[in-house]
Structure 1
Amino acid sequence: MNLPRHSAWSRRTFLATVGAGVVAAAAACRSGVAAPSQAGSSMNATTAAQGVVEAWVHTRHSPYYIAHRGAGDVYPEHTMPSYQAAVGWGAPAIEVSTSSSADNVLVCMHDLTLDRTTDATGPIKARTWGELQNIGVVQPQLGPKWTAPPLPTIPSFEQVLKAFGDKTVLCVEAKADTDYPLMISLIEKYGLQHNVIVKLFHRSSRIAEAKAAGYPVFVYLGGEDTSAATIRSAARNLDKATDYLVLPTTSVAQHGAEIPDATIRTAVETGIATWVYPVHRRSEAERYHQLGVEGIVTSSLQYVSGRSAPATADSWSSKAIAPGELTRHPDRSENGPSWTGQDELTLDRNGAQQFITLGQLAPLADPQGRYRLSFDLRWNELPTDVTQTFTLAVGHVDDAYYEHRLGVSNGYHAIYRANGALTIFSHTAGVKEGLQLSGITKTAIKTGEWMSMRLEVSPSTLVWSRLGTDGTSSVVATDPSFRGGYLHIGRSASDGSLSLRRLRIE
């Protein structure tokens, strides 16, 4: 079953096969997915014989993208809507984690407990499959659309195999080692041995077993140990032609900091195809690709791969995070914004700055850097320190996370202080403090009142304005230094609340 990494298998043939699968997946989504059955395989025999893994290996080009937890930055992770979204975006591979119920039905979940991602608590193993089907998956950071009924529910592994097993590569993992035989038996029941890559922790005793059975393996390290010795030890058990060495993007040893370049290079130098997980931003994907990483494991494949056209307006009325709309840690519930009206987004997190990358609007199209951005702003509650700000950061060449005084990027920040002052600053990578370019004295703010704001950018100037019935207050900065196409919004204070609506790019 070993597969070469390159061949003449045509891209047209592969796309036709996978494209047909995407259409079928969409139809399955509309009609619903059947409950787990004990019947034999209904998979297309020709497709299964060819093997989706083989088709992918023979046609892909680095970098390629693997959907992490389906589309976990945008849809509740490991649910049918999440898997369906990833396949609909053209994901050639999706990552699927499993646990098991009290009556030994394999279900799709990252955790062995229900606490983090559902409206229930306790071990999954303590519930029957019948009980698990009535539990909703809830992830507040994705928006209120995903916290109100009808909630997506926990799918069975068999449902996922039947819906997607012959349409995309499945990178499958049994989170509990005792579930591994059950996982493999279901794969073999449906004749999908050539359509899966077995995902295993680098210390798992199942690596040799999976390889002896002919499966390619996805061997991953955790953030607690990414030493050079551990990487080389893991690689020694892998085949350069078929297997994958998968590293986390952050290091526990370095308190959640990005994994160092040297660590990535160590993995690449082993000659085993190196993947990284999880990737949320295009700038991250570019960095890892430049270091020699082949596979990008991402929870927002449509955005990270650049397959989505830039939007020209917000989609906040949907009550859901858009692909590319990124907090500092998109997979953490504490970072998510609030929705306090039909079409408004609210920044009200306590205890820290709160910034959001508006990647869904980027990159801005005008090569001369000419555009106008308008929106409404309302201070619901002023921060304790009224010199703190609403901030619109622009002119960035990529989507690396921005907040005040990080000192990681070049650009501008147009700010509206809680005391009413309008100001424009520039900021430079490596320097934490911004440089003020222009500003005006404060104009009165009334809490609870909507204000119209506008930023106009030309090749040489920035004009930052508050529009009102009592006239327009504007500041102008003449500076051509930065004209990148990514932008961010945020609140610099650690308290207070502000809302935004009707954001438009022209």
Structure 2
Amino acid sequence: MRKNRLLVLVLLSFSLVAFICPPVSAKSKGNLLSPDRILTVAHRGASGYVPEHTILSYETAQKMKADYIELDLQMTKDGKLIVMHDEKLDRTTNGEGWVKDYTLAEIKQLDAGSWFNEAYPEKAKARYVGLQVPTLDEVLDHFGKHANYYIETKSPDTYPGMEEKLIASLQKHKLIGKHKKPGQVIIQSFSKESLLKIHQLNANLPTVQLLEAEQIASMTDSELAEMKTYAVGAGPDYKALNAENVRKIRSHGLLLHPYTVNTEPDMRRLLNLGVTGVFTNYPDVFHHVKKSYKK
């Protein structure tokens, strides 16, 4: 009788564990938007090692097994979408002034790599000198369907029509449509209006709402419920996350991809809190942490 009771208790324990931590199904492994997936998003490419937002940075990120490469968009004077984080040219090129005041041809003359060698002499390489600012189309041409793209509409108020141009480019490269891989392209923005516009232009294109630290502190359940109507996830400043707000965000069925997480202790802390991915300048480091992480 005692053995039977022990057997029942053991079986109940296994059942409880399976209920709380169900195994990741084969279907979930292939679904980039599954809450069971933990995603590595290469922030501006492998920007901890290579000049950010360059083709070389994205190639390096893919070699480091990043799930996504991140693209920030700006628009030139002649209406071309380029991949650059800042609205100004000064920090990451040898140019100066606002992107919107230069044509694509003028921006193509700039050096987008030498600044990295100067800022990080211990990581400097001769091949970084003379790297170009890529256009969105050039990145999509180069990687095609062999990459997953996490694209941010930067300063959309400054660039009217940015969303339409983005959708047109994705369509041209056959990266969106009924039979495309779910989640191959995710659009993110701090601008709720920009995401709503994307949602109106293509309701099947997943969007993620970026959030500043102070927004997380005051986020209510009703605001999160509203976010769920147009976005699949939230992208907050990682420093603002704690057990309580992670639980609250995840309870609304939202994916959670904080930015920008660059140290192993922070990566492990966030995984323990329950995030579903991170933005990092060091995709190889997070890939290593994921492999050794056990829930």
Question: Do both proteins adopt the same fold according to a TM-score greater than 0.5, normalized to the shorter chain?
Answer: yes
Contact 2:208 2:234 in 1 (8 A): yes
Deviation per residue, 1:99-140 (Å, 9 max, x gap): 011111110001111122222211011111111112122234
Deviation per residue, 1:388-428 (Å, 9 max, x gap): xxxxxxxxxxxxxxxxxxxxxxxxxxxxxxxxxxxxxxxxx
Aligned pairs for 1:89-100 within 5 A: 89-100=64-75
Aligned pairs for 1:83-94 within 5 A: 83-94=58-69
User: Aligned match of 2:249 in 260, 264, 267?
Assistant: 267
Residue of structure 1 in register with 2:14 after alignment: none
Instruction: Tell me how far 1:222 sits from its aligned partner.
Output: 1.9
Aligned residues: 253
Uncovered stretches (5+) of structure 1, i.e. residues with no partner: 1-5, 15-54, 252-258, 310-362, 364-506
Distance 1:77 1:234, change over 3 A: farther
Contact 1:218 1:244 in 2 (8 A): yes
Instruction: Tell me how far 1:227 sits from its aligned partner.
Output: 2.1
Instruction: Tell me how far 1:86 sits from its aligned partner.
Output: 0.7
User: Aligned match of 1:186 in 149, 158, 169?
Assistant: 169
User: Aligned match of 1:126 in 96, 101, 109?
Assistant: 101
**RMSD over equivalenced CA pairs, Å:** 2.9
Aligned pairs for 1:344-355 within 5 A: none
SS, match of residue 163 in structure 2? helix
The answer to whether residue 186 in structure 2 is matched with residue 211 in structure 1 is no
What is the CA–CA distance in structure 1 between the aligned matches of 2:42 and 2:83, rounded to whole Å? 15
Distance 1:263 1:162, change over 3 A: same
Residue of structure 2 in register with 1:226 after alignment: 216
Q: Give the TM-score taking structure 1 as reference length.
A: 0.46
Distance 1:188 1:158, change over 3 A: same
Q: Give the TM-score taking structure 2 as reference length.
A: 0.76
Deviation per residue, 1:68-125 (Å, 9 max, x gap): 1111111111111111111121222121111011111110001111122222211011
Which gives a bigger RCO, structure 1 or 2 (Cα 8 Å, sep 6+)?
A: 2
Aligned pairs for 1:19-30 within 5 A: none
What is the CA–CA distance in structure 2 between the aligned matches of 1:92 and 1:262, rounded to whole Å? 27
Contact 1:69 1:82 in 2 (8 A): yes
What is the CA–CA distance in structure 1 between the aligned matches of 2:248 and 2:119, rounded to whole Å? 35
What is the CA–CA distance in structure 2 between the aligned matches of 1:187 and 1:298, rounded to whole Å? 24
Deviation per residue, 1:166-206 (Å, 9 max, x gap): 112211122132222111111112111143111122x4213
Residue of structure 2 in register with 1:142 after alignment: 120
Uncovered stretches (5+) of structure 2, i.e. residues with no partner: 1-23
Query: By percentage of residues, which structure has more helix?
Result: 2
Residue of structure 1 in register with 2:239 after alignment: 250
Q: Percent sequence identity over matched residues?
A: 24
The answer to whether residue 261 in structure 2 is matched with residue 279 in structure 1 is yes
What is the CA–CA distance in structure 1 between the aligned matches of 2:143 and 2:69, rounded to whole Å? 9
Distance 1:200 1:165, change over 3 A: farther
Structure number with greater Rg is: 1
Residue of structure 2 in register with 1:288 after alignment: 270
User: Aligned match of 1:152 in 131, 138, 141?
Assistant: 131
Contact 2:42 2:281 in 1 (8 A): yes
What is the CA–CA distance in structure 1 between the aligned matches of 2:49 and 2:110, rounded to whole Å? 20
